[in-house]
Amino acid sequence: MQATRRHPGNGAGKILRRWRTARGLTQFDLAARAGCSARHLSFIETGRSIPSRQAVLELSEALDVPLRECNRLLEAAGHAAEFRSTPLASSDMTAIRGVLQFILDRHLPYPAVILDRHSNCIQGNGGSRRLLARFVDPALLPLHANHLRVVFHPSGLKRFIVNWPEVGRHLLQRAEREFGGEADAEGTALLEELRGYAADISFVPPHPLEPADLLLPIHIRQGAFELRLFSTIMSLGSPQDITLQELRIESFFPADARSERAWAELAATDDDALMR
């Protein structure tokens, strides 16, 4: 029997199959979304056919593949990368930095942070610093602290979260969706660390995002102090730069009038302490 011929650059098929599996799609589902035949997709995934540049872009869009991974797919198929990655500190990003700072400032007195793709804090407002200082061991708060570690670590926010199973499962599912790519050593290591902290959470496979996932309720209790917050993650719309696509803006809102008063009292207490 003659062996099936495999082409140079067929690593793209393996990557595509991994993303399709992670999204919970069959070959038929993905082919319908991307406007190609399931047979052609099968040939791509098994390495019998090399996808064209346009096919890679269309399949990546159908799978909601991040731009960084889309570049990797293109290169694996023998094509040049499509998307650039501009450092946030560069002069080209001056306007973006101004917009991000505006968002942080306008969200005061409540917490808001700008996170990178691994949830490392790029910048935060005074409200976020107040929240972390109240509930998190200072040893977990270096410059650009990782906010997933800050939540999951035994000395972090986890110990004060009343609805921890719900919060921990939600955040772990998000990490499972976003981390652990074959070329993402930092994400893979962080995901393994989080799993170690989350042994008390029953595993639920990642699922496609639903409207209910946009707001995460967090119930915090420390002694007599109680706070109910909603957390939401926002991203920049339709970016064509890897750096911009990977930015996350996490904002916290009081969930009820009692929590709004509790936050105001916490802020006033902290301000009084600074005045002494």
Q: Could you give the strand order of the β-sheet that contains 225-234, starting from the edge strand earlier in sequence? A: 121-124, 112-115, 248-254, 225-234, 216-222
Pick the CATH number of 11-76 from 3.30.70.260, 1.10.260.40, 2.50.20.10, 3.40.30.10: 1.10.260.40
Say if 11-76 and 93-275 have the same CATH topology: no
User: Which sequence spans correspond to the domains of the chain?
Assistant: 11-76, 93-275
Phi and psi at 9, nearest 5°, equal 85, 10
Least confident of 7-16, 130-139, 182-191: 7-16
User: Does residue 152 contact residue 136 with C-beta atoms inside 8 Å?
Assistant: no
pLDDT digits (tens, 9 = 90+) for 83-113: 999 999 999 999 999 999 999 999 999 999 9
pLDDT digits (tens, 9 = 90+) for 238-269: 789 999 999 999 999 999 999 999 999 988 87
Q: Which pLDDT belongs to residue 5?
A: 44
Task: Kindly report the number of other CB atoms within 10 A of residue 141's CB atom.
Answer: 16
pTM of structure: 0.83
Question: What mean pLDDT value characterizes the chain?
Answer: 88
Identify the architecture of domain 93-275 in CATH: 2-Layer Sandwich (3.30)
pLDDT digits (tens, 9 = 90+) for 189-220: 999 999 999 988 876 665 555 655 678 999 99
